[in-house]
Structure 1
Amino acid sequence: MSRILLLLCLSLLLPACEQADKPQATATSYLTLNSPDTHNVLSVALEEGLLSYKVQHKKQAVLNKSALGFAFKGEHSKLGELALIKTETASFDQNWQQVWGEKQNVRDHYNKLSLHMQEREKPHRKLIVEFRAYDDGVALRYIYPQQGQSSLVIMDELTEFNLATDGTAWWIPAYQDNRYEYLTTESLVSTLDKVHTPLTIKSDSGLYLSIHEANLVDFASMVLERGKGTSLKADLVPWADGDRVKTDGSFSSPWRSIQIAEKPGDLISSQLILNLNEPNKLADTSWIKPHKYLGIWWGMHIGKYTFWESPTQGATNENAFAYIDYCVKLGINHLLIEGWNKGWTPAWYENAMHMFSFTEEAEGFDLQKVAEYAEAQGVNLIGYHETGSNITNYLKQIDDGMAMYQALGIHDIKIGQVGSRLNMKEWHHSQFGVRYYRDVLKKAAQYKLAVNFHEPIKDTGERRTYPNMMTREGARGQEYNAWSEGNPPSHTATIPFTRMLAGPMDFTPGILDVGISQGHEGRDVHTTAAKQLALYVVLYSPVQMLADLPENYYGNPAFQFLQDVPVDWQDTLVLNAEIGHYITTVRKDRNSEDWYLGSITNEQAREFTINLDFLPEGKKYQAQIYADAPGISWTENAEGVAISEQEVYSRDSLALKLAPGGGTAIRFKAL
C-alpha cells in the first residue's frame, strides 16, 4: 500500500513553506532533509542566489558544500541569482514487485524536498530541484519547465560531489575507444582524472559510497571529473558538435545518486537505482522469461569457428541442429546463434560502417528450417542483431528484422554495437546514444522482444520501467579470456561492487574447460572450475549463458549445478565481502524453497565459516557442495571440482576453502 503524506515544512532557518507569485528576496535559506531512519541528512543552502548542498551520514560528513546548476549555450549562459519561491515536502512509502530480479519485493521509502526557484533578474527563468533521502542514499535531479523557448542547449552541468575525505576509488577511465570494457583501477580519489560511473569509493572515514545516475532518458550520460583535492564534478558526454544536451526548451535531468553504506555488501543490497526509475509501463509481461542459454558463440571467440562465411563458419544448419540437440540433452531451453546473417567479414569488429543485413541469411544457414527444428525440440531461439555501430543502416531495417523474429515466435534478442563510436561519430554514452538505446528498447517491446545489449549504454535502472531490458554487457566479460591477456582473478571479485551496482550483466560464465583446450595457445579463464559455477550466484543476470562448448558439459558431474541454478530470485543477501578480494552471496529461488550460495576469491586462497542462519529455522536442507579440489589453484589443475553432500539446518555452519582464484557453489535443496 502506498502513502504520500504532505509534511509540515522542514524545520530550518527557512521562512515557513511559503508560496509567492514573484521571487522574494530573503536572507540565506537552509533546508535539511532526513532519510526515514534519520541516518542520512541532506542539507541545501541558497546563498547569494547560488544553490549548494551537502550530505552527512550519522553526523559524519560525506559531502561538503557542493555546487549545483547548469551552463547553457548562447546568451544568458548561466542562471542568474536565484530566489526561492516555493518549497514542497513529502514522504513516500510503497512496496512494489519486480517482474524478475535479484529481489522480488522492493520497498520504495523516502522523504522528498522540491525547491521551486526563479532568477531575480531577466529573463526570470525558473528551475526546480528535487531531492530525495533514502535509508541507503540520497539523490537529486533538475526540472527545467517549458518557458517559451523552442530549444535550449546544455553546455555543462555544474553538479559537484565534494567528498569530505579522501578514500580508495575503484574506477574505469572515461572517453576511451573501448567504451566501458576496461579493467578496474584502484587508487585514491585525489588522483582521479575523468571516470565512468558507477564510481565506488571507500572513504577514509570508513563509509562505502557509489556515485551514479538513475533514469537516464534523452540526456547525456554523466562521467565524473576531478577538480581540486577530492572534489568531483559532473561531466556530460558531448555530441560530436560539442553540445552536451539538446532540448526543446525544457528538460528533466537523470537523478544524481549517492549510495551510502557501512559495509560493502550493503551497496549490492541497495535498491536506490531501481527506486529512482518510473514504474513498469508494459501492460503485458507474460512473454518476458528469465532463462539460461547455450550459444554458437564461444567457439568463435576461441577460434574454432568463424563469424563469417568460411569452411569453419559457426552458423550453419549442421551446427545449429547439433546445438539444438545439445540443448535437449543438457536440459537448457534457449539457444543463441551468432553470425547467421549476411554482412559478417573477418574485419567485422574494426571501426567502419559495416553493412549487415538483418533479414538475409548467410550461406549454409536456413533460419526458417532451424527455427522449425528448434520448436519441434522445445528449444527457444534467441535472435541476434550485430549493428557494427552503423546505426543508420540498422534503423532502416529494424522493423523488418524484429518482425521476422516475432513471426518465428522468438521473444529474445541480443543486440551488439561493436565500434568506438556510433555511426563512427557519436559516443555510445552521449545523448545520441542514450536516445538510440531507449528507442531500440521500446521498439523491441512493440515486437515482444526481451533485450540483451552488448556494447551498451550503462544501466541506470530502466529495467523497472521496461522489464524487457533484461541484461547487458558494459564491462570486460568472459570473452576477454579467449583472445587477450584475460581478466585477472580479482576482476570478478570487483565488478559486483562497481559495474554491477548499476544492474545485471551478461558476463557469460560457465567455462568448465578452464584451460580452453580447443582455443588459442596460452589462454585460459583465470579461475578454477568451481569459481565458474559460483559466478552464477555472485554475478546477477536474469539471462545467463552457459558459455562453454556443449561437449565440455556432457558427462561432467559439475554441470549438475548449472542445470539446477535459477536465474530469478526472491531474495539476495551478501554474507561477507571485501572489494576486489572476495564475496559470498546467497540467493533464494523465486520458484522453490531452495537457496544457492556463491563464494569467490581473487588470487589469494581463503577460508570462511558461513553461518546458515539465512535458512528458515527448523527446516532441513541438503547442501550440495561444489568446491575447489584440494591442492589446486587457478594456474594448476584448475578443472578439479570436489562434490559432496550433507544435511544442514539454519543452526549449522559450513567451512569453505577457496583455492587461489577459486570459489565454492552450493545448492541448499529443501527436504
Structure 2
Amino acid sequence: KISNEITQFTFPFDNDVWSIPVHRDNSYYESTYKKSPMSKTDTINTPATFETKDKLFVAIHEAALTDFASMTLLKAKGNQYKSDLVPWRDGVKVYAQTPFNTPWRTIIVGTKPGDLVTSTLMLNLNEPSKIEDTSWIEPSKYIGIWWGMHLETFTWGQGPKHGATTANTKRYIDFAAEHGLDGVLVEGWNVGWDGDWTADGSSFSFTKPYSDFDLDEITSYAKKKNVRLIGHHETAGAAKHYESQLEEAFKLYNSKGVNAVKTGYVNKYLDKKEWHDGQYGVRHYRKVVETAAKYKIMIDNHEPVKGTGLQRTYPNLMTQEGARGQEYNAWSNDGGNTPEYLNTILFTRMLAGPLDYTPGNFGFDYKLPQGAKVQTTLAAQLALYVVLFSPLQMASDLPENYVGKPEFKFIKEVPCIWADTKPLDSKIGGYNTIARKDWNSENWYLGAITNDEARD
C-alpha cells in the first residue's frame, strides 16, 4: 500500500497559473480554467500551465499513467506544490506489488505558449504500440443523434421523441453518405435510458437495442451507403456492470462492422464510491481500451481519466473528452463556454492529448430554459477543427442546420490528422493562431480564434 508521494515542484516566484480545481465540479475535468497567482490556489489538476515572472511558460503533468493514482498538485508553503495522489475510498493512494513502474512526472518549458503545444515528451515516455496491425485504426468525421437530445428535440429514452429510431438513424446515414462523412453516432439506442439513468447505470444493456432500433437493418443499410455506425456505451459510472458485458458488447459490434465506440461515465463516482481519476478508474479505462483493441474497435472516451499518452501504446484510444464540451452550450447554468475558455484549453487540457470537443454548431437561434448559447461566430466554429486536434471529429449540429450553408464545405474537407503543426501567435485566454499540414497532402490549414475582444 502506498500512502503518499513526496514529489515537490518549487518555483522562485509566485507565478500565474491556468488551472482547474480537483473534484469541485465533478471528477472528470469539466471545469473552466482560471488564471490566478499560485498563492490563490488550493489543489489543482494537471496539466497545469504557468507563466513565470521571467517570461517562461511551464506545464506540469505526468506520463504513462497505467496502474497508479493520478497526480494532482496540492499548494504547499511558499511557491511550492506537492504531489497529491487521488485516493481509493479507503484512503489508500495506490495498491501495488513489486516490481512496478510509477508514472513519469513531466515538466515542459517554453518561451512562448506554442512551445508547450508541440512537445512530444508525454507520448515519448509511453511504451510503443502493443497493436501490431493498426490498419483498422482510421481517423473519421461523423455526425450523430446527439445534439438533438441536448436541445430537447429528441430524448435518449423511449417515447414520442425518441431519437435513436431506425427511421431517424437512416435519415442521418443518408445525410452522411450524401456529404461524404464517414460515420453516424447514435446515442439512446440501447435498453436502460428510461427514467433517471444518471443515478444508476445498472439498468443499461450494451447488447439489447430498444424495439424501435433495428441494429441489423441499420448496420446493413449503413454498409450499403459506405457509412459506419459509431456505437455508444453510456455507463452512468457503473464500471463493474459495464465490465461484465464488455466482451459480448464488443463482440456484437465487431460482428456488425461497428469499429468505433463512444463511452461515457456521467456520474461523480465510478460504482458510487471511487473517483474517475483514482487507481480504480485508471485500471477500468485501460481494461476497456485493451478489450476494444482485441475486437478491433476504436474508443472515444468521455468522462475519462486525464490523458497521459496511452494512445501511443494503444492507438485505438483515438480521443477523449475531459473538458467542457459543446454540450455545455445547451444546458449550462453559467451560459455556456466562453471564447476565453476556448482560447485556454489548447495550452492546458490539450497538453493531455486529443480532445473530442464536438465543434461545428451552425444554428445559434435555439432557446433553452438555462439560457446557454454558443458564444462564438460561425467562423470560429470552423476554426476549431484546426485549433482543437482530434482524430475523430464530429459535425455536431442537426443535419438540417447544414443544408444550404456553403460553410459546411469546409467541415467536409478539413482533415482530422496532421503531419505538422506550427503555432504562430497566441496569448493564453486571448487569441490563438495555428497552422497545420494535412497528413495526406501538401495542403496547410490555418485556424485563428479570439476571445470576446475584436482583433484585426
- Structure 2 counterpart of 1:256, one-letter code: R
Distance 1:192 1:251 in 2: 33
Distance 2:309 2:125 in 1: 8
1:272: how far off? 1.0
Give secondary structure in 2 for the equivalent of 1:374. Answer: helix
Compute the TM-score of the two structures, normalised by the length of structure 1: 0.67
Distance 1:355 1:222 in 2: 33
Distance 1:310 1:471 in 2: 32
Confirm or deny that 1:328 pairs with 2:180.
Answer: no
What is aligned with 2:435? 586
1:251: how far off? 2.3
- Post-superposition CA distance 1:370-426 (Å, at most 9, x none): 111111111011111111111121111111110000000111111111100000100
Compute the TM-score of the two structures, normalised by the length of structure 2: 0.98
State which of 348, 364, 369 in structure 1 corresponds to 2:212: 364
- The 5 Å alignment of 1:208-607 reads 208-349=57-198, 351-484=199-332, 485-516=335-366, 522-607=371-456
- The 5 Å alignment of 1:124-135 reads none
Give secondary structure in 1 for the equivalent of 2:244. Answer: helix
1:605: how far off? 0.6
- The 5 Å alignment of 1:636-651 reads none
Distance 1:175 1:600 in 2: 29
Distance 1:496 1:345 in 2: 37
Give secondary structure in 2 for the equivalent of 1:513. Answer: coil
Unaligned 5+ residue runs, structure 2? none
- Structure 2 counterpart of 1:431, one-letter code: Q
What is aligned with 1:63? none
State which of 14, 24, 45 in structure 2 corresponds to 1:196: 45
1:514: how far off? 2.4
Percent identical pairs in the alignment equals: 50
Q: Report the structure, 1 or 2, having the larger strand content.
A: 1
- Structure 1 counterpart of 2:264, one-letter code: G
Distance 1:268 1:376 in 2: 40
1:479: how far off? 0.2
Given that 2:147 and 2:398 are in contact with CA atoms closer than 8 Å, whether structure 1 keeps it comes out as yes
1:175: how far off? 2.5
Given that 2:11 and 2:79 are in contact with CA atoms closer than 8 Å, whether structure 1 keeps it comes out as yes
- The 5 Å alignment of 1:31-46 reads none
- Post-superposition CA distance 1:33-56 (Å, at most 9, x none): xxxxxxxxxxxxxxxxxxxxxxxx
- Structure 1 counterpart of 2:303, one-letter code: E
What is aligned with 1:75? none
What is aligned with 1:96? none
- Post-superposition CA distance 1:317-369 (Å, at most 9, x none): 110011011111222121100000000024122x3343200011113111111
Distance 2:91 2:389 in 1: 37
- Structure 1 counterpart of 2:211, one-letter code: E
Runs of 4+ aligned residues of structure 1 deviating over 4 Å after TM superposition are none
Of structures 1 and 2, the larger Rg is shown by: 1
- The 5 Å alignment of 1:144-223 reads 153-176=1-24, 178-179=26-27, 180-223=29-72
- Post-superposition CA distance 1:191-232 (Å, at most 9, x none): 110010000000111110000000001000000001012100
Distance 1:440 1:274 in 2: 20
Given that 1:177 and 1:421 are in contact with CA atoms closer than 8 Å, whether structure 2 keeps it comes out as no
Give secondary structure in 1 for the equivalent of 2:143. Answer: strand
What is aligned with 1:143? none
1:249: how far off? 3.2
Distance 1:210 1:348 in 2: 37
Distance 2:450 2:201 in 1: 41
1:177: how far off? 5.0
Unaligned 5+ residue runs, structure 1? 1-152, 608-671
Q: How many residues align?
A: 453
Distance 1:313 1:428 in 2: 30
Distance 1:249 1:281 in 2: 23
- Structure 1 counterpart of 2:398, one-letter code: L
Give secondary structure in 2 for the equivalent of 1:354. Answer: helix
Given that 1:515 and 1:523 are in contact with CA atoms closer than 8 Å, whether structure 2 keeps it comes out as no
1:522: how far off? 3.5
Given that 2:48 and 2:348 are in contact with CA atoms closer than 8 Å, whether structure 1 keeps it comes out as yes
- Structure 2 counterpart of 1:515, one-letter code: D
Q: CA RMSD in A?
A: 1.1
Give secondary structure in 2 for the equivalent of 1:284. Answer: coil
- Structure 2 counterpart of 1:430, one-letter code: G
- Structure 1 counterpart of 2:324, one-letter code: R
Give secondary structure in 2 for the equivalent of 1:574. Answer: strand
Distance 1:550 1:524 in 2: 19
- Post-superposition CA distance 1:246-268 (Å, at most 9, x none): 01233211000000000011110
Distance 1:568 1:489 in 2: 24
1:312: how far off? 0.2
Distance 2:200 2:54 in 1: 48
- Structure 2 counterpart of 1:296, one-letter code: I
- The 5 Å alignment of 1:23-102 reads none
What is aligned with 1:19? none
